[in-house]
Structures are given as structure tokens and as C-alpha cells.
Amino acid sequence: MAGEGKKLEKRGAIIVGISGASSSGKTTLARLLRDIFPNTFILHEDDFYRPETELPMRDGLLDWDCAEALNIPDMTRALEHIRAEGTFPPFVNSIEDQNSIGACPVSEAKIAAVKAKVGAWLAPGQPGHALISSSPPPRICLLDGFLLYAAPSTPPSALRAVAPLLDVRLFLLVSRAQATRRREARDGYVTLEGFWTDPPGYVDKIVWPNYVESHAWLFKGGDVEAGVLDEAVLAREGILARPGTGPDVDVDMEGTFEWAADVLMRSLEEEVGGR
């Protein structure tokens, strides 16, 4: 547990990081979890992009997929507010929820089954009941972002200040092919200035190379393409990834949703039980 040893009574919310490559299903998963866990809201890393005039360039293109594109001090301030107050930061104007992520890839039957599982866990006499019966009941913030677990060497170094503010750290894997298909299928993104549409080849030139550079440290031998996670590094950093997935395996969001709900229930038991 990333937040082990921290007293819940000193915090207004438990913060759950959901990270992975662009189009790995982070926002979809966050919305699914929000709808089945009580007292839950979402904070998007994408709401902390700097203005286009401040973005760096890579290969002659604006680079939205690097740490320098983010206002990390503002994101850290927002997380500190959530940790202290348990509420969505009033100084954050979220535009990410205006972006479409397409049809939900999880069936209504699966959603109902996982929701029922969480409901049973929250019932009187069950482990999760403390989550809603404690006073005050803790809130849950789901932080979804493409760059939450960057290597220590990733500039700017201020990004490393984000990880200690996360109590649970989930990492989603996706194949390069699926990430490309999903990103290229999107119409574009609402931005501070208006609307951004990826130019041709943007995933190959910008998105995937940045992902590899920032996350190679989580993979054995630094080989992201081979897709074998370094379990020792994940254990040391408190990062949880779904067993049996990898860059050569397309995202099974139904299985990922169920896995994430199970992980979150176990993690919340530890957090609430440690009050």
C-alpha cells in the first residue's frame, strides 16, 4: 500500500492513481469505479496542461505527452487540497470531462455484477462497511493520468512529488497497436484554447516514444516492447498491475474493471482499518 503508515484521520480523502499509456483505458476505468464506489470523484491529470504557447516541441510537433507539458505545481496543490479537505479543488476548472471516450467497452451485465459485489462488501458486518459507517466517511479521489509514475530521471523533477500523495497506484498496460487504434479513433481533445486534433503519425512520433522513455524503468531490462514488468520495482514503488497483461495483449476492460474493483476493496480495507 503506497499510503502505509499515514493516518486516515489526518486526510480528507484516499487518492487512487490510475496511470498507463495514452488510450490504455484510464478514464474509462475511473468512470466505472466512480459509479460503483461511494463518495468518489475523479481528478484528471489532463486538466493541468499548460497553454499551447508553453508546450515543448518534438520532431516539429507540439508535445502534449511529456512532463514539461503539465503544470505540476498546480496538480500537486490540487492533490494536497484533496488530501486535506476531501473535496474537488475549487480552483480547478475541469475540461477533461468534455472529451468523449467512446462507447463503454464493459457490458451492463458485468457492471451490474461488479456493483453488486461492491454492494455486498459494503453491507453491515462485511469488511467494507467501515467505509460508509466511519465518521466522517472517507472520500475517494481517482486521479487518472498518463504520467503519474515517471522515472526519477524524468524532468521536471517536481513530478516525483506527485507519487507520495497517492495511496493506491494502479498501472494499466496496453499494446502499442491498440493504443494507436484507440487514439487515432478519437475526434480530438478540448483544450484551453479550443480543440486539438492529432496530426497524422502523432502516436508514433510523440505519444509512444514519450511513454517508453518515461516508463522503461518499470519493465525488465527497460524493454517496454517486450512487456515484462519488473516486479521488484513495482513492489518497491507500491504500483499494482493486473496479472497476465502486457503490451502484446489487448486491453480486456471487463477483466481490468473487475480486477481494479477487487484491488480497491482490499486497499480500502487496509486504509480504513488503519484509522
Tell me the per-residue pLDDT of 126-183, one tens digit each, with 9 for 90 and over: 999 988 887 777 899 999 999 999 887 777 667 778 888 999 999 999 888 888 888 8
Return the higher-pLDDT residue of 160 and 23.
23
Confidence bin at 265 (pLDDT 50/70/90): very high
pLDDT at 17 over 90: yes
Q: Which of 162-166, 186-190, 249-253, 260-264 has the highest mean pLDDT?
A: 260-264
- In this prediction, residue 43 carries a pLDDT of 96
CA distances from 5 to 9, 24, 31, 50, 98 (A): 12, 31, 28, 34, 37
Q: Above pLDDT 70, what percent of the chain?
A: 88
Return the higher-pLDDT residue of 196 and 216.
216
Confidence bin at 1 (pLDDT 50/70/90): very low
Tell me the per-residue pLDDT of 223-246, one tens digit each, with 9 for 90 and over: 988 888 999 999 999 999 987 766
pLDDT at 271 over 90: no
Angle, vertex CA 86, rays to CA 271 and CA 68, nearest 5: 95
- In this prediction, residue 159 carries a pLDDT of 78
CATH 3.90.320.10 fits 8-273, yes or no: no
> How do strand 195-196 and strand 189-190 relate by DSSP bridges?
antiparallel
- In this prediction, residue 98 carries a pLDDT of 61
- In this prediction, residue 8 carries a pLDDT of 44
| Catalytic, out of 46, 144, 167, 198 | 46
Active site residue 46: yes
Return phi, psi of residue 169, to 5°.
Answer: -130, 110
| 36 three-state secondary structure | coil
| Domain extents in the chain | 8-273
238 contact partners, CB below 8 Å, separation of at least 6: 1, 2, 4, 169
